[in-house]
Structure 1
Amino acid sequence: MSSSSSSHRRSRSDASTSPSTSSYGQVIERSHPPSVISGLVEEEPNEPQSPQSPTTDALDLIRDQVAQTIVLRAVRKAETIDGTQVGVITTLPHSSGELFLKTIASRLKRTMLPKQESYLFILTLPTQGLSPVLVCSSSENLAERAGLVLQSKFLNRVERHELRHGRWGALIRDLCTTTYDEAALWDAVRKAARHPIDPLVPPPGSRSITQILEHARARLERIAPQQAYEELQDNTAPWSVVLVDIRPEAQRRTYGSIAGALVVERNVLEWRFDPRCAYRLPIADRYDLRVIIFCQESYTSSLAAASLHDLGMLNATDMIGGYAAWKDAGLPDEVEVSSTAPPTEGRISVPVENS
């Protein structure tokens, strides 16, 4: 058997050496052709479906004994990830390979179920071209998670796959032709076996969007629409004042726009108002520029204004209630779509994502 190092915990106290991917050669030849994926994920029948000869019975008995030996060795060498025993078993190519994978899977199930232990194993049969892979586990959810991880790790190499009876089967092209493949198989079972994070228990240091919004607004001196209009009309202020509409085009078409407002959609706002940026607007050449931002209802605008503070534009703020409040106040309004403000003339525009 080949061995590779690992830092994970083991399921047995005597497994102090590195985990191994068990490899087994040809055990018994079988005359009928290999099964397809749908057959690979089917359960082995408890009783023979048709009469068998004494020779066939003997071969099946030997095959089952060899599979049991493989399972016992694999379980002994398995790792334990969040209470789930995981491992990878590889058999060498032979005519009855797919059937032998099913026999190993059935034996694994019989071994683990009485102990009521959680398990997740990947069984592989590397062959030239398409190789069968069988994920078997104590739950269909575990098998499906492992299958999804495998699809991500073997991009453009998984030809067919199917999930049934708690097993995930697939055909993977050119399996184990590089050292990456074995490591990827192990990584798949380790990652899939981890307990899901409770979505109701946030990670340490994280904040809810409500907390983020409150923190952003605590940094601003927010103003009402009437105050914003008065600032725009004030000729005595020592700095320039610009009103900036950061709403997407769809909202401007639906609700209207404010005549004279600069339209700078949210995804390029920082590039347009950073005085150090090559893609800034011509007017964004001073850090004392008064930027009054609005969106439809003043949620996104608060976050946007706080982001400009991070750039050093400490005069930036947002309009309480957004465009809806402006319209309700009866201030100048024009149902007309403005064009997105261009960057500084003669400079290349920062790429803009479609809204």
Structure 2
Amino acid sequence: MSKSEDEYFLEQVASKIQHQLTLHEHIFAIGTLGQTATPTVSSLIIMSSNLDFVQRAVLLASSKFLGRILGAHMVEERWIATIQDLGVSPFDEDALWDVLAKASRTPMDPLMPPPGSMSINEMLEHARAKLQRITPMQAYDELRESQVGAPTFLVDIRPQAQREREGAIHGSLIIERNVLEWRFDPRSEARLAIADRYDLRIIIFCQEGYTSSLAAYSLQQLGLLNATDIIGGYAAWSEAELPVDSDRRSETHTQESRSLVSLAGSVV
């Protein structure tokens, strides 16, 4: 059959199917199949009792059959398209089922949290339940111990602007939050020289001890089970009158931290 005959035939079939489904909400697709031996132009109709369903299906199908839709138009609540080699690949049938299923799915209430999601406070509580958090003084004492079972590092994940404004802790490693996992994952090609083992003691701090909890938990998920964070962050460390470099500029501190990373890389 010609392209116009294809479309006419499919429209007749679609109308009969829709007539049978008049009392029910529905969406369906019918099409002519291409030939495996030679390139074929096929017709496809997506039809529904709900115009929103059809409009969603059009967007989904356009993505699924990218570059293969040669032409398309809407007629009331049906979408009629010309598609290259429809049905030649097993992908096409699965793709169409997926389009119809997603197009007819009841939209989520944008004001209701999706099932399984957590608020940021719940995420924080969940992360902290996995950590043995320590106070600034406990961190300071731990860093001063001469004999420890594994290399211990104090890690500052705050952004540069915050370090410049608030000050820094001399000797801490500056690893900003956006690259933390890549720098400490022993399996990462972008890891630090020191991050070649899973028993590292990594003590993380941010400004007030919130982001650091999420960061430490993320490292634990990588297998670095000794990772933790400082309760209250840099603010609590400073308030406890522990050593800080309040006048030291970030650039100088970064250079010192890089030197420390280089030295720490030889620790085994």
Q: Same fold (TM over 0.5)?
A: yes
How far residue 119 of structure 1 moved from its aligned partner, in angstroms, is: 1.1
Structure 1 residue 120: Cα displacement: 0.8
- The amino acid across from 2:60 in the alignment is V
Structure 1 pair 237/286, CA: closer, same or farther in 2 (3 Å)?
A: farther
Q: 2:7 aligns with which of 94, 98, 116?
A: 98
Secondary structure of 1:136's match?
A: strand
Q: Which residue of 1 aligns with 2:204?
A: 293
Query: 1:238 is matched with which residue?
Result: 148
Give 1:264's aligned residue.
Answer: 175
Q: Which runs of 5+ in 2 are unaligned?
A: none
SS at match of 1:213: helix
Q: Are 2:3 and 2:43, in contact at CA under 8 Å, matched by a contact in 1?
A: no
Q: For the Cα contact (< 8 Å) 1:121–1:135, is it kept in 2?
A: yes
Length-normalised TM-score, structure 2: 0.65
Counterpart-to-counterpart distance in 2, 1:141 and 1:95 = 27
Residue matched to 2:49? 138
Partner amino acid for 2:28?
A: F
Alpha-carbon deviation of 1:292? 1.4
Tell me: CA distance 1:183–1:93, structure 2 relative to 1, closer, same or farther (3 Å): farther
SS at match of 2:56: helix
Letter in 2 for 1:218: A
Please give the per-residue CA displacement for 1:332-355, whole angstroms capped at 9, x wherever unaligned: 23442537969989x9xxxxxxxx
For 1:112, the equivalent position in structure 2 comes to: 21
How far does residue 210 in structure 1 lie from its aligned partner after superposition? 3.5
Describe how 1:1-355 pairs up with structure 2 within 5 A: 93-113=2-22, 115=23, 117-125=24-32, 130-161=41-72, 165-195=76-106, 200=113, 202-203=115-116, 209-225=120-136, 228-229=139-140, 231-232=142-143, 234=144, 236=146, 238=148, 240-247=151-158, 251-253=159-161, 256=164, 258=168, 259-266=170-177, 269-270=180-181, 272-273=183-184, 281-284=192-195, 289-309=200-220, 313-323=224-234, 331-333=244-246, 334-337=248-251, 338=254
Q: Is the 8 A contact 1:144 1:163 kept in 2?
A: no
CA displacement, residues 233-279 of structure 1 (integer Å, 9 cap, x when unaligned): x35463654221234xxx32465362532133446545544568786
Partners of 1:231 and 1:183 lie apart in 2 by: 58
Which protein has the larger Cα radius of gyration, Structure 1 or Structure 2?
Answer: 1
Contact 1:243 1:291 in 2 (8 A): yes
Q: From the superposition, tell whether residues 219 and 180 of structure 1 become closer, same or farther in structure 2 (CA, over 3 Å).
A: closer
Kept after mapping to 1: 8 A contact 2:29/2:47: yes
Identity %: 46
Question: Judging changes above 3 Å, is the alpha-carbon distance between structure 1 residues 253 and 344 closer, same or farther for their aligned structure 2 residues?
Answer: same
What does the per-residue CA deviation read over 1:129-161, in whole Å, with 9 as the maximum and x for residues that have no partner?
Answer: 554432110112222333333234323323455
Mean Cα displacement is larger for which, 299-308 or 220-229? Answer: 220-229
Q: Does the CA-based 8 Å contact 1:279-1:344 persist in structure 2?
A: no
Find the aligned partners of 2:94 and 2:199 in 1 and give their Cα distance: 55
- Counterpart AA for 2:115: P
Query: Residues 254 and 190 (structure 1 numbering): CA distance in 2 closer, same or farther, change over 3 Å?
Result: same
Structure 2 SS opposite 1:155: coil
Query: 1:318: Cα distance to partner?
Result: 0.8
* Cα shift readout 1:152-204 (whole Å, capped 9, x = no counterpart): 4323323455667433343322223344434533443345445556764625x
Q: Give the conservation status (yes or no) of the 8 Å contact 2:163–2:250.
A: no
Deviation at 1:212, TM superposition (A): 3.9
CA shift, 1:280, in A, is 5.0
**1:98 aligns to what SS in structure 2?**
helix
CA-to-aligned-CA distance 1:286-326 (integer Å, 9 cap, x gap): 76643211234433321332344456655432123334555
8 Å contact kept, 2:208–2:236: yes
Q: How many residue pairs align between the two structures?
A: 247
Report the 3-state secondary structure (helix = DSSP H, G, I; strand = E; otherwise coil) of the residue aligned with 1:135. Answer: strand
Name stretches of at least 5 consecutive residues in structure 1 with no aligned partner.
1-91, 348-355
Q: Alignment RMSD, CA only? A: 4.3
Query: Partners of 2:94 and 2:198 in 1: how far apart?
Result: 52
What are the Cα deviations for residues 20-48 of structure 1, in whole angstroms up to 9, with x where unaligned? Answer: xxxxxxxxxxxxxxxxxxxxxxxxxxxxx
The equivalent of 1:37 in structure 2 is none
SS at match of 1:118: coil
Q: Larger helix proportion, structure 1 or 2?
A: 2
8 Å Cα contact 2:6/2:32 also seen in 1:
yes
Q: Which amino acid aligns with 1:213?
A: L
Q: State which drifts further: 127-136 or 335-344.
A: 335-344
Q: Residue 329 of structure 1: CA displacement?
A: 6.9
